[in-house]
Structure 1
Amino acid sequence: MTETAQVCRAYAVAGGLDTRALRAAWREATARYAAPGRGPFGFADLGGVPDPGPWESAGRLWADPDLLSFPAACGPAARLVVARPAGGAHLVMLAVNRAFAARHSLASLVGGLGAAYAAVGAGRSGEFAGADFDWSADLSPSLGALCSREGAAPPDVLLAAYCCLVGRHTGEDRPTVGVPGPDGGHRVVRADLSGRPSFRELVVRTAAARRAGAAADRAARYDALLSVESPAEPVLGLTGARVHRLRTDDGVPDADLALTVRCSASLLAGRLEYRTAPFDAAAASGTLGQLRTLLRAALDAPGTPVDALPLETPGQLRAAAREADRTAAGAWSGRPVHDRVRAVARTRPDALAIDGGGAGVTYRELCEEAGAVARGLRALGVAEGEPVALLLPNGPRRAAALLGAFRAGAHAVCVGTALSGDRGRAVLSDLRPRCLLAASPAGDSPLVSWFRGELGGHVLDLDVPRDVLPDPESPDRAAPGAGGSAPPAPDGPGEAGPADRWAYIAYTSGSTGLPKGIPQTHRTLGQFVEWFAAEFGMGPGSRVAQWSAPGYDAGLVELFAALTAGATLCPVPDRIRAHPGKLADWLRTERITHLQTVPSFARQLLAAVRDAGPRRPSSLNHLLLAGEALPGELAGDLREALPGVRLVNLYGATETILATWHEVDGPVRGAVPIGRPIPGRQVLVLDEHGRPCPAGVTGRIVVCGPHVTPGYVGTDRPGDAFRPLAGPPESGVAGGPCHRTGDLGRRRWDGLLEFAGRGDSRVKILGTRLELTDIETALVADETVADCAVVACPGADGLVTRLVAYVVPRRSPDRGPASGARAWRAGLRRWFGRALPPVSFVTVEELPRNPGGKVDRRALADLAPSPH
């Protein structure tokens, strides 16, 4: 390099760089310097260059006299060179001559270039975004005072605060932060937040960790980056990208967060850059606000334990809790679902209520059948408040049975065909209903015979002809003639019963290995169904698919949302329910407008829709996804393939029916948020002490409000999952009934909720929730199994597609291992019926365990297995 080029800077730019915009920005930034006698300003785009080592390209390019040296004839004031090494990121090099540097501020030129780049590319989106900050007036005096009092260096205090913030966001006791090393490269600092150190102690720990930090290799991945620069150091900011100042043999560190701070006795300013996925648009200002709050508290009281340092003010936490409170918005008409269906039948008796593939049933016929069921139940002595079991497939029979049970004052227990094995017997044994409603051929099943013989229960076969007495409350009596418009009759005494009477019990997996009964009231079912139908535009003319299997509350929602709104319910035939190609054709031919399913099946359906080409389901206008996390790329593909369809992500446990919803109306990177609370619910993210978590911090999802189940059937006390929240009135927590879901989540800075995985061993496969311990309990009940562990295997998109059972066989001294995968699978099928997901078996000599004696599930994959 010639003697005239004395001031040089090099930057690694990750996340995408628009070189055309950079050229235009360079012209704009240098225009005010281009006076006569100051020389030209050069720009060169070298394109791809070799990448012989960790950014050695920077030094080699600078050493090339034809690239950055200034020809004596023209004497350029400055030159900007862009290159793309093979590593992927861009290399931006700036050189100014000695004369220009003497007259002008290099920081001003660099800052002007960043501002011009942002202006030229207004609206540009990239992989990174960021925000500048200046806390000089507020925090510099306190930082200086603490350093003087504690004998600490400002960079170590800032590093301690930053590590504390990163640890709270990652949930790690030892977060890794990349910092510039003394040799110009990066070093790894592994902060130690364990043992509840005070902030003062953390400063000492991080200072020691920084000094002892090992040099990072080129592929190092950090939780975050921190660079503390001198005040005179210019900072180049390029919108949509992350810019990192290169020194000598400096790589491009990979991290989601990068904080650059300029610090002196009177200055505390800088820039925070973040990756746009997983962070949302408000992440930069929100994270900076949290760092400022934490640092302010730490400087004021350095003896405070780091886990007690606030990230948000009490006012901010209260405001977030109140924003998440929609309990007051959960209005309900007060009419139970069966009464609302009868009201539809009075006004539109000949409208099609259920279309079962040519076997249509009108609202009049449906209500007449429901009346006959109610009279049949009363004749069997079924009293108000008693349970009635249903072993019926989706269709008119099941709908009439549900309506009839409600009309008789009973509550329904839907024993779907998937529960027809030993697990179905466990449900019936737990509940002991007086009556089981069935239809041939299910009426001749072993479960029905067992119910008659073992429990002495009555079986009402809906396919057996019986005398149908006139129903005094038949809709055609209230509204003679087709299309009658007589107003609905008011509730009669003993008709609907109290709103808080149970409507149904849904059985799902329990942590003890036994099915767990979850009751819901008419108030909760009615309120949710009214919101669901209104929000998603169900009404006369809508054709709502019933895809959910019997036995799950999702099927009840589909059924009653359609029927209470005057829509037509279209049960999906069993022969096509699990076949995406056939289902795509069915959606089109049946002119379905609303479909609710799970993301993993929606992915399969997407492929079938794409293959269908012009034969796509053009009538579909709502696709509702629930039961599993929704990947952003899947959501984007669905929106592209079905551009006229409203795509909605729903979240919630059976204990609350559902809790949150989010309409996907734009591109999403990462997982789709689960959104905001459904009316009638408050959804909070709490830490292990029951305190609301700040934005970005992962905690346990808790649902509060009047529509939480009162507890599990057969338990004397609600249990810890329903323990009321203990919080002061000013906390913003609604109080009252609550459910600790066991799910992990975080609140984004824009207020939306994100799902962050399970907090226990429950998994969902194709919408079916299973407790891994349930399967383990059933397996170890086999006398040939000595020990076992079951793990979920997610696909490339993170959705669980199958289970693997690691089994330690019980060996006979004479014959070796008895039984095997075929027998184990058969045993599980006897217990779970068709609810059993795909399971493969691996036989092992022993299960790996951690020092605490628990099975080390992460180590299972390292075993040398014999798969079956």
Structure 2
Amino acid sequence: MNDTTAPTSGAPAVAHGPAGGAAQAVLARFEEWARTSPHAPAVTDGAHDWTYEEISAAADEAAAVLRGRVRPGDLVGVCLDRSAALVVAAVALARLGAVYLPLGPRPGARRTEAVAEDLDVVCLIGDPGVLPPAHRDGEQVKLPLPDRGANAVATVVAAFAEERAAGARRAPAGAFYAVLTSGSTGRPKAVAVGERSLAGLLDWYRDETGLAPGDRQSLLIGVAFDPHVMELWAGLTSGAALVPAPDEVRWDPAVLAEWWRDAAVTVSVAATPMAEPLLEGPWPADLVLRHLVVGGDRMRRHPGADVTATVHNAYGPAEATVVTTVHTIRPGERPADLSSAPPIGRPVPGATVAVTGPDGRPVAVGEEGELRIGGALLALGYVDPELTARRFTGPPVREDAAAPGASAPAGDAAHDGARAAEGAPGPGAAEGAASGLARVPGAADPQGGAQAAAADPGTGAPSGLAAVPGAGAPAGAPEATADGRAGAVGSPATPGAHGGARPAGATGAPVEAPPAPPVSAVPGVDRLYRTGDRVRMDADGVLEFLGRLDDQVKVGGVRIEPAEVEAAFEQDPGVGGAVVTASRTPEGRTRLVAHVRPAPGARPVGDALLAAVRAWLPEQAVPAAVRIVDAFPLDANGKVDRAELARQPDRPAEPGAEPTAGATFGERLVLTAVRGELGLPDAGLDDDFTSAGGTSLAAARLLAVIRREAGVRLRAPELLRQPDLRAVAALVDARRTTDRRTEGT
């Protein structure tokens, strides 16, 4: 069922998701399950189970240790993997009113230090052995967190740095969690999300998947990425059991399918690149998986006819609380045209989407444009208010005030008006600033607070803002006249009628009506987030994803800002400059290449540079290869010609890197797969897989090639333990020999 308000033919490309109800607070829902179903399983990790009562009690103990050191609104970085300990830490921080900042189990020392310089992170929670030096040398307090499970660590501490950076920013008021995204300045950005937005998302998730007691919800997504927050709280607010995935599951689609089966997972979230090989079939047998939510990258093909789970192709940036639109494909549903990629669908409840032109106004249905997002699921903004002001803007004004616009969901205006009367902000009315576009009633205050409660007695708009007909109400709906009655849009009120005020000294002469105020081009929203994504909307309100408008790229489902990768390389004094380009492999995957210009007198080595940037970057942002260049080509405007750089051919492999005439089957297979299918043309048999540019997704593809071509099933840990690709090849040869002997007996 989808009650999306879609545009009519020829109308502006604006669509509203179904009106959402009053979402119950996230933490309150968990508390209710802990009270009413204390003995139900909350976390199941292999042979280990924790009930809702046990998770609640453990969270109380952890919160008691932190209380007084961690205050409401404080940012706390969490460096834990998927585990019961992570779940307990999230609940404890929510009870303290702190802001959960998931960084992942091994965020990298330099990246963590950069975060601590920009953000006022009170402490880091994690294994003391992986914390950065500034936190290893400061005060550490042991936390009583669960120490069992596949990804558990023996000791977890809350580490407080000896000194916190002066001028570091706190999270905006009302933040429930924050996540890092790639930043164009070379440093990650922090997006802050309020509890109300997350609660609205979770309402959609539960309604769409039917997640309920007795279900098993995956805890699979990497902890540093925002879909992990949806997974974690979806389980805890549904009475379901969370099932943390062992680390090797995220490397290999075949292992993922086995884990779904063995752990009896009924509802799962997975990155599109990991799930797509399974969706293309044959679909694994004996799964109890009912719903699979995929996202993070473009879905290239429709699920196979034998897929028994309902597949939700979800789209959404962290700035709009994980999911904004979704296209649902139920078992057996097959479109007439299988050659086109599945769309990203319609907006979820509470979300509004608009396809806009360069002027920020909606284009017509069927035209391409930039996707902007509004509604109740918007994040509060970035922790940096200046960046918030640039990316979260007020809605544009219609050029023709009389022109019909797309209608807003019924009830939004009344709901927001009631909240304004109570002094509470409307949807998204937190950190966010209007740009040069006209602001509408209820638009968020640039400094992060809600609009002032004082309202103009004639319009009901906050003092100092002009009322905008149509904002928050369906276009063409009656507007309030000066006495509060409904009247036609733009109809002049009779001066003095029904007690209306007259100018001082007036004798009954007619007063000229003021000019009609501007009309919002996107009714029903007070802010819009500019995604930078290029899309097209059809007449049914369904969005098709077409690509990016800027240099930002997606690798393995993670948005990467090339400037951040370039800045990481430029930390090395031997690097005079770095430019990162992205290209597509024949299989349609994104491959990053770093082009490095040495500093005068320096002779940087590609492998050493790659090893160094791993401390700064998430693994998806580490380029597959480094090219040492004398200079960067320039275009007619004197800017680096990235397209020309990307067109330059790869340098040939180093002498001796080719397999010899006597190379084994495994050596030929591994080297061909790594160079060809994984897009790492410089790799040699003496290279370590990771140093050659291998990522977790690349490892998954290599394992799939080995299984397909050699009939050998290796596990990700086996691959990563090998000192070089030659050793991987030897393992393939040895396993093939063993398997043949077994078959012959």
Q: TM-score over 0.5 for the alignment?
A: yes
Question: 2:297, 2:557 within 8 Å by CA — same for their partners in 1?
Answer: yes
Matched residue of 2:43: which SS? strand
Q: 1:592-741 residue pairs with structure 2 within 5 A?
A: 592-606=265-279, 610=282, 616-631=285-300, 634-635=301-302, 638-642=303-307, 644-657=308-321, 658-664=323-329, 665-667=333-335, 668-716=338-386, 718-728=388-398, 729=470, 730=519, 731-741=521-531
Deviation at 1:820, TM superposition (A): 0.8
Matched residue of 1:544: which SS? strand
Matched residue of 1:389: which SS? strand
Equivalents in 2 of 1:675, 1:362: separation in Å?
A: 37
CA offset digits 1:476-513 (Å, max 9, x no partner): xxxxxxxxxxxxxxxxxxxxxxx972101111111111
Deviation at 1:677, TM superposition (A): 0.7
Flag the 1:529–1:845 CA change in 2: closer, same or farther, 3 A.
Answer: same
Which among 327, 333, 336 is matched to residue 25 of structure 2?
Answer: 336
Q: CA RMSD in A?
A: 2.4
Matched residue of 1:831: which SS? coil
Q: 1:336-485 residue pairs with structure 2 within 5 A?
A: 336-378=25-67, 380-438=68-126, 442-447=127-132, 449-453=133-137, 456=138, 459-463=141-145
Between 571-580 and 737-746, the greater mean CA deviation after superposition: 571-580
Q: Which runs of 5+ in 1 are unaligned?
A: 1-311, 466-498
CA offset digits 1:103-127 (Å, max 9, x no partner): xxxxxxxxxxxxxxxxxxxxxxxxx
Provide the residue aligned with 1:807 in structure 2: 596
Flag the 1:388–1:848 CA change in 2: closer, same or farther, 3 A.
Answer: same
Equivalents in 1 of 2:396, 2:386: separation in Å?
A: 21
CA offset digits 1:360-417 (Å, max 9, x no partner): 1111101111111222221x43222222221111111111111111111111111212
Equivalents in 2 of 1:833, 1:732: separation in Å?
A: 37
Q: 1:581 aligned to 2:254?
A: yes
Q: Which runs of 5+ in 2 are unaligned?
A: 1-6, 148-171, 399-469, 471-518, 653-681, 683-745
Equivalents in 2 of 1:865, 1:758: separation in Å?
A: 25
Equivalents in 2 of 1:757, 1:459: separation in Å?
A: 46
Q: 1:298-337 residue pairs with structure 2 within 5 A?
A: 316-317=10-11, 320-321=13-14, 324-326=15-17, 329-333=19-23, 335-337=24-26
Provide the residue aligned with 1:857 in structure 2: 642
Matched residue of 2:34: which SS? helix
Flag the 1:830–1:437 CA change in 2: closer, same or farther, 3 A.
Answer: closer
Question: 1:407 is aligned with what amino acid?
Answer: R
Equivalents in 1 of 2:195, 2:585: separation in Å?
A: 39
Equivalents in 1 of 2:139, 2:304: separation in Å?
A: 50
Question: 1:669 is aligned with what amino acid?
Answer: S
**Which structure is larger by alpha-carbon Rg, 1 or 2?**
1
Question: 1:623, 1:647 within 8 Å by CA — same for their partners in 2?
Answer: yes
Deviation at 1:428, TM superposition (A): 2.5
Matched residue of 1:719: which SS? helix
Flag the 1:422–1:835 CA change in 2: closer, same or farther, 3 A.
Answer: farther
Equivalents in 2 of 1:457, 1:629: separation in Å?
A: 44
Matched residue of 2:11: which SS? helix
Matched residue of 2:607: which SS? helix
Deviation at 1:641, TM superposition (A): 4.0
Provide the residue aligned with 2:496 in structure 1: none
Question: 1:624 is aligned with what amino acid?
Answer: V
Deviation at 1:713, TM superposition (A): 0.8
Equivalents in 2 of 1:606, 1:726: separation in Å?
A: 41
Equivalents in 2 of 1:652, 1:723: separation in Å?
A: 18
Flag the 1:362–1:717 CA change in 2: closer, same or farther, 3 A.
Answer: same
Question: 2:134 is aligned with what amino acid?
Answer: W
Deviation at 1:336, TM superposition (A): 2.1
Q: Which structure has greater helix proportion?
A: 1
Deviation at 1:640, TM superposition (A): 2.4
Question: 1:676, 1:753 within 8 Å by CA — same for their partners in 2?
Answer: yes
- TM-score, length-normalised on structure 1? 0.55
Q: 1:437-586 residue pairs with structure 2 within 5 A?
A: 437-438=125-126, 442-447=127-132, 449-453=133-137, 456=138, 459-463=141-145, 501-586=174-259
Deviation at 1:773, TM superposition (A): 1.1
Q: 1:843 aligned to 2:516?
A: no
Flag the 1:446–1:502 CA change in 2: closer, same or farther, 3 A.
Answer: closer
Question: 2:41, 2:50 within 8 Å by CA — same for their partners in 1?
Answer: yes
Aligned length: 497
Equivalents in 2 of 1:721, 1:464: separation in Å?
A: 40
Deviation at 1:675, TM superposition (A): 0.8
Matched residue of 1:803: which SS? strand
Equivalents in 2 of 1:763, 1:799: separation in Å?
A: 11
Q: Which structure has greater strand proportion?
A: 1
CA offset digits 1:413-465 (Å, max 9, x no partner): 11212423311221223223323222xxx222242x42253xx5654434599
Deviation at 1:589, TM superposition (A): 1.1
Matched residue of 1:425: which SS? helix
Flag the 1:805–1:350 CA change in 2: closer, same or farther, 3 A.
Answer: same
Deviation at 1:716, TM superposition (A): 4.7
Equivalents in 2 of 1:641, 1:786: separation in Å?
A: 54
Provide the residue aligned with 2:534 in structure 1: 744
Flag the 1:655–1:583 CA change in 2: closer, same or farther, 3 A.
Answer: same
Matched residue of 1:525: which SS? helix
Question: 1:622 is aligned with what amino acid?
Answer: H
Deviation at 1:654, TM superposition (A): 0.2
Q: 1:795 aligned to 2:585?
A: yes
Question: 2:65, 2:143 within 8 Å by CA — same for their partners in 1?
Answer: no
